[in-house]
């Protein structure tokens, strides 16, 4: 109904500060090409996580990481790829528990592909719902900014 119109309107105003998305796109595409084993600091920097968080993910069983002769973590290409994936899933709201389950499935072999696809599809739907919800809130917020009178309600339909 009016929803699509709202969506379109909201979307049209989304063209400003491009930084976030461009940066993210670059991450998506470039990241893996910065080859060679990486240190925890480099990964943290690249993914905008703290080293603490990276260790936490490892403890949580989300990723396996090798060690060098000093016992320092060495992130190889696969670990990097997985962390990029994990980060994107986390950013879009997938709970740790689900990610742990997903990774367990990956490690369990190809038989689990269908279940993994189910999870991805469900997550996709969750993201879509969330976007719609946010779009609605965006419209409400913009409406309130435009018509601001000082009351707390949106006052749709009232004088």
Q: Which segment (44-52, 102-110, 122-130, 135-143) binds DNA by CB under 7 A?
A: 44-52
Per CB under 7 A, 70 contacts DNA: yes
Find the part of the chain contacting DNA (CB under 7 A) among 8-16, 37-45, 121-129, 138-146. Answer: 37-45
Helix axes 77-91, 19-30, angle to 10 degrees: 150
Rounded CA separation 68/44 (Å): 18
Q: How far is the CB of 26 from a copy of itself (least distance, A)?
A: 9
Shortest distance (Å) from residue 42 CB to DNA:
7
Which DSSP helix (H) or strand (E) runs through 67?
strand 66-67
- Secondary structure of residue 32 in the 3-state scheme: helix
Contact 43, 54 (CB under 8 A): yes
Q: How far apart are CA 88 and CA 28, in angstroms?
A: 9
Binding a copy of itself (rule: CB under 8 A), the pick from 34, 41, 104, 120 is 120
The residue ranges that bind DNA (CB under 7 A) are 39-41, 50-53, 55-56, 67, 69-73, 90, 95-97
């Amino acid at each position: 109904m009016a929803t699509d119109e709202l969506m379109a309107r909201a979307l049209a105003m989304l063209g400003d500060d491009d930084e976030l998305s461009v940066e993210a796109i670059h991450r998506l595409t470039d990241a893996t090409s910065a080859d060679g084993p990486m240190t925890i600091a480099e990964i943290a920097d690249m993914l905008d996580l703290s080293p603490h968080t990276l260790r936490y993910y490892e403890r949580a069983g989300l990723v396996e990481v090798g060690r060098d002769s000093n016992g320092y973590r060495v992130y190889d290409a696969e670990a990097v790829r997985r962390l990029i994936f994990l980060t994107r899933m986390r950013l879009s709201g997938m709970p740790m528990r689900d990610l742990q389950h997903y990774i367990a499935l990956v490690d369990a072999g190809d038989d689990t592909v269908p279940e993994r696809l189910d999870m991805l599809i469900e997550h996709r739907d969750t993201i879509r719902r969330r976007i719609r919800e946010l779009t609605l809130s965006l419209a409400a917020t913009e409406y309130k900014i435009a018509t601001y009178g000082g009351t707390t309600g949106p006052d749709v339909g009232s004088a």
